[in-house]
Structure 1
Amino acid sequence: MRDYRNSALRVLGMALTLAWAFCAAPPISANGTFWEGVSAGAQILIRLSAVGLIPCIVCILAPRLFDRKMLMWSILGAAVLWLAGWLGNMGVSASAPAPLLVILTFVNGTGTSFFLVFWGLALCRGDAERIERDFVLILVLVGLIVMVALGSPKAILDGVLAAIPVAVAASALMDGVVLPNDSLIRKGDGEVRGECEEAARVTLTPLVLSVAFSITIVSFVWCMFSLRHQELMVSKALLFGLGFMISGLAIWLFVKYSPSVGFVAAARWVLPVMACGLLFNGSEIPELLVAACLMLSVAHAAFEMILRMQVISFARKNQGDELLYVGWGFAAIMAGAFLGPSIYMVVTMTVAIDSLHLTLVVLAVLVGASSLLLLDVETRLGRSHSLNSYEKTSLSANDEIAATAGTAEAAQDITERYGLTNRECEILGMLLQGRSRPYIRDTLYVSISTVDTHVRHIYAKLGVHNKQELIDLAQQLGET
């Protein structure tokens, strides 16, 4: 019961934090500025402060913030900074000195970035299937919050945004990772840490670069659409929230029916959706603009969430280095959220290029990226690093080999007795080892839907109804 409670708290906390970021980020006006009357340099600094990139890096360099002795104070301090920065921003006008705007936004971004890293580390504690389910629920909840918030009068919206930091801090304090003698960051033994550090050297740099590049493209394209259709974005604000909810469904289908949930598999369907949405950018037909808004918001939300899922996957793979992976992975997302709009602002303000030619250039980038993006990363990382493929074991290497051989022998014996197919025999062996459905999916490179079909066939042939009955049957047959 406690696990489900903690899972619900983590879903709520992450959803509130992300919803706040999407609803309260500094708006970009039609002429490409975040604040009217503020210089271009100050605009970029404000955007950098808002996304929380620098505070996120500080979190990585200060792991003691997440230690059990400091965690409660870190949560309270981050919530105070978050709320103080937001209230300060509400109390000043756009004509306030640029340094003050930067400072207030930086303080505000410090709180949000801390909690994003906090919830990322907390999500690492979930099991394989629960993580995938939680990310779908997070997207749906973000969509609901965004729809309600953006569809409300400004006074109500401001009240909701002011209440969110308090709600997030309360969720964090109620989460079991804070009570009573636990830490968000697990410590592996020397051998495990050595393996983690070796893996980190191989995977961390391509992970960070690919995530940052992907989010930069996504946020740049969203700026191209939203700034050109300000009136649509105001009158159809609910479309953005609806896009989040649809993206939750898209990720559920992606996880269920795709044999891979890594970067490349996601890019192969997200980037073409973005390209289609961008094609309608210049249309004068309202229905096509609405369709474009939905496609771009779905692609934006789904791709960002899939990248967060992948970051969590790498962090779980390298236990003992969760902060390193979650911190730098989420920092890469923040960097992309900063670079995309900032590059768009610089391009529109300094380069004499019309919207048609800019659209054609970006479409060419999307088409190229759909074919080439992250292919090298997938080759280097392999399927063993796809979401949730890692499942920690306390067995030594020799014991694990012996256990695997024993379950393989038991699976082969059951196969001969009950006439299972070769694929069913493979899956049966992994089930007897206690492997999860995501692990079987990633190992055999088949979709979870296919895994479920094979499992149903195995249960039907053996006359059992769940995994425990299957294990009990295997033990009985092994004793005879």
Structure 2
Amino acid sequence: MKFIYGCYTSYHEKGRKNQIGANVGDGIGALLGRIESTFKLRHVGIGFVWAWLYCVYGTPVLFDTTGVSINADGSWIVSAATVVVAFFAGGFAFRRKRVGPRSPLPILAPSALSLGTLLSLLGPSMGEVAVVSGGVLTGAGYALTSILWAMALASVDVEELEAAIPLSTFVTLFCSLIIPALQTEVAAVVSAVLPLISGALLIECFRKDGAAPTRDVASGARSDRTSGEWRRNESGRRHDRTWVPYLLKVSVLLLVIYLVIGWEAANFSSSNAFSLLNYDLASLVSNFAAVLFAILLVLFSKRVSFSGLFRWVMPFLIASLALFLFPGSFAHFGTSVINSTCDTLIEVLLFLFVLSLAKTHGASAALCIGLANGFVQVGVLAGNLLGRFSAEAAAPFDLHSIGLALIALVALAMIAIPQKDPVADDLSAAGSSLAADSVDEALARACLRIQKRCGLSDRETEIAVLLAKGRTRPYIREQLFISTNTVATHIKHIYGKLGIHSKEELIDMVNSEASAK
């Protein structure tokens, strides 16, 4: 990655005099620079779990979907019921637990997922016990692996997560290009190996990134479990529980979204109308679209906002329902693309959102991911069961009635979308306190003018304000929940954009800007 970024930078600087497409080039350069400075392969391990989901439920590798929905398979029903219980129970069980690098859980959970995949595949020929065992192992293994990933990534810098988690979607895209070209037996083995790869990267995360720091919600103190030392947050900000009602609202909205997605998926049957060389074109289009949106998220996202997410997801969900109620393959193709794309992006944003709650509000990453994904799986299960009922109904009127009722439910749910994100509110309050508490507001306004003139990012401007106030690098690291290396990288970029070489020069520049009329 460093070689690619270096080649691009050299080429772009040589051709910088040509202003045609300069803005696009700057955007690509910023993307490559951000990936190069923050990307670590082990942090994309959750992508192999998402790829497993695609292989198992998006292809006929495990479940024969010819003319029927996957919810007609006994192993799927057992798995769907188990994963609901496992997410809720696992979230509460691990909300105060620490998983160290020597814990067997990062090995056992992905191994259970892999073994359950093989048992579900062989179940019909091995009997009812294998079917039930496969369903229990895949359900429990998937839930526990997801919870462990949330716990592992909670110790990683926010800015690294904002690059790594969206880029994890490339794993699913790669599998969507490879799996359909393989023979069924080989594809099944690959699907069973994916959780093991995820497990190996999970162990590496726990080993190299260490345990996530916890915060005493009552006192605002912070403890580093790796050292056992307690430190009070230098900002004096007390962590509250405003995230709890917000998370519950988010979970209910996720239930509604996946109720719709599950219902539509249950009424689909496989068709060759939109397939080419064994490739499902709807899956390919949705995977490419998800990767594109993920790249845009890395490039342009300032903060992860679930309130903003719901404001654009809900209209698309209504559009997918409207298309589904129209007859014809083209309408169903559009529904499939919309649902698959939204599903992938929600997975990405849900992880980012939960980890942001853990870092800024002292929430338990395990509890948050367990609750949110538990409601997701309740929606999937309820939607599939409802879809199975409506698909077996004698009159087509029943299908349209349920579809219209779901449109009304989504429209009603839009009223309950939170107007503000507690993560954004908390960070905004922190950012405003930088300018309003003990430092002259003129410095902050001067930094904003410098930002517009020199092209500083929002995060770089935050750090520039703190530097202008004479804050140290350790203070900045604690205030913004980022690592020492990330702070150093941002300061290097700030100095480069401003054409300076030291903190003293920055202070002089900001003071000069603040005193200018």
Match for residue 385 of structure 1 among 386, 403, 423: 423
Q: Is the 8 A contact 1:89 1:101 kept in 2?
A: yes
Check whether the contact 2:52–2:194 (CA below 8 A) recurs between aligned residues. Answer: yes
User: 1:47 corresponds to which residue?
Assistant: 80
Which secondary structure does the structure 1 equivalent of 2:104 belong to? helix
Which residue in 2 is equivalent to 1:295?
A: 338
SS in structure 1 of the partner of residue 168 of structure 2:
helix
Distance 1:22 1:233 in 2: 16
Partner of 2:49: 17
Question: Are residue 67 (structure 1) and residue 104 (structure 2) matched?
Answer: no
Secondary structure of 2:156 counterpart = coil
Q: Which residue of 2 aligns with 1:346?
A: 389
1:79 aligns with 2:113: no
Q: For each residue in 1:325-346, what CA deviation from the matched residue of structure 2 results, as whole angstroms up to 9, or x when unmatched?
A: 2332232333333232223223
Q: Which amino acid aligns with 2:508?
A: Q
Structure 1 pair 153–239 and aligned structure 2 pair: CA distance change class (3 A): farther
Q: Which of the residues 57, 60, 72 maps onto 2:88? A: 57
Please report how far the alpha carbon of residue 20 of structure 1 lies from its aligned counterpart in structure 2 after TM superposition: 0.4
The Cα offsets for residues 363-408 of structure 1, whole Å up to 9 and x where unpaired, read as 4444444x42x42xx24xx344249948999xxxxxx779953263
Structural RMSD (CA): 4.6
The answer for the alignment partner of 1:165 in structure 2 is 195
Counterparts of 2:363 and 2:350, CA distance in 1: 21
Q: Is 1:227 equivalent to 2:269 in the alignment?
A: yes
The aligned residue for residue 442 of structure 1 is none
Residue 192 of structure 1 corresponds to which residue in structure 2? 220
Determine if contact 1:143/1:243 at 8 Å carries over to the other structure: no
The structural deviation recorded for 1:191 is 0.8
Residue 268 of structure 1 is matched in structure 2 by 311
In the alignment, what sits opposite 1:183? 211
Q: Is the aligned partner of 1:91 residue 2:122? A: yes
Name the structure 2 match of 1:310: 353
For 2:184, the equivalent position in structure 1 comes to 154
How is 1:274-289 mapped onto 2 (pairs within 5 angstroms)? 274-281=317-324, 289=332
In structure 2, the residue corresponding to 1:316 is in which secondary structure?
helix
Residue 247 (structure 1) aligned to one of 280, 290, 294: 290
CA contact (8 A) 2:80 2:377 kept: no
Deviation at 1:163, TM superposition (A): 1.4
Query: Which of 134, 144, 153 is equivalent to 1:104?
Result: 134
Q: Distance in 2 between matches of 1:236 and 1:359?
A: 29
Cα distance between partner residues in 2 of 1:255 and 1:387: 21
* Inter-partner Cα distance in structure 1 for 2:106 and 2:386: 33
TM-score relative to the length of structure 1: 0.72
Change over 3 Å in CA distance of 1:10–1:65 after alignment to 2: farther
Moved more, 340-349 or 232-241: 232-241
Distance 1:178 1:383 in 2: 33
| Alpha-carbon spacing, 1:78–1:420, altered in 2? closer, same or farther (3 Å) | closer
How many angstroms apart in 2 are the aligned matches of 1:90 and 1:293? 25
Unaligned runs of 5+ in 1: 394-399, 436-454
Determine the C-alpha separation between the residues in 2 that align with 1:114 and 1:432: 42
Alpha-carbon distance in structure 1 between the residues aligned to 2:112 and 2:160: 31
- The count of aligned residue pairs is 432
Change (3 A) 1:368 1:199: closer
More displaced 10-residue stretch of structure 1: 258-267 or 209-218: 258-267
| 1:113 counterpart = 2:105 | no
Q: Which residue of 2 aligns with 1:474?
A: 506
Distance 2:449 2:336 in 1: 56
Going from structure 1 to structure 2, the CA distance change for 1:209 and 1:470 (only over 3 Å counts) comes to farther
Residue by residue over 1:433-462, the C-alpha shift from the partner in whole angstroms, topping out at 9 and shown as x without a partner, is: 279xxxxxxxxxxxxxxxxxxx9xxx8xxx
Which residue of the other structure, out of 34, 37, 40, is the alignment partner of 2:71? 34
TM-score (ref. length: structure 2): 0.68
Whole-angstrom distance in 2 between the partners of 1:101 and 1:392: 52
Task: Find the aligned partners of 2:452 and 2:300 in 1 and give their Cα distance.
Answer: 27
Distance 1:304 1:464, change over 3 A: closer
Whether contact under 8 Å (2:435, 2:443) holds in the other structure is no
Identity fraction in percent: 13
Q: 2:90 is paired with a residue of what secondary structure?
A: helix
Tell me the distance in 2 between the aligned counterparts of 1:426 and 1:92: 52
1:410 and 1:429 in contact (8 A); partners too: no
Counterparts of 1:387 and 1:150 in 2: how far apart (Å)?
Answer: 45
Q: Which moved more, 1:182-191 or 1:133-142?
A: 182-191
Cα distance between partner residues in 2 of 1:388 and 1:138: 27
In structure 1, distance between residues paired with 2:384 and 2:458:
52
The residue identity in structure 1 corresponding to 2:42 is: L
Q: Higher helix proportion, which one?
A: 1
- On the 8 A contact 1:219/1:341 being kept in 2, the answer is yes
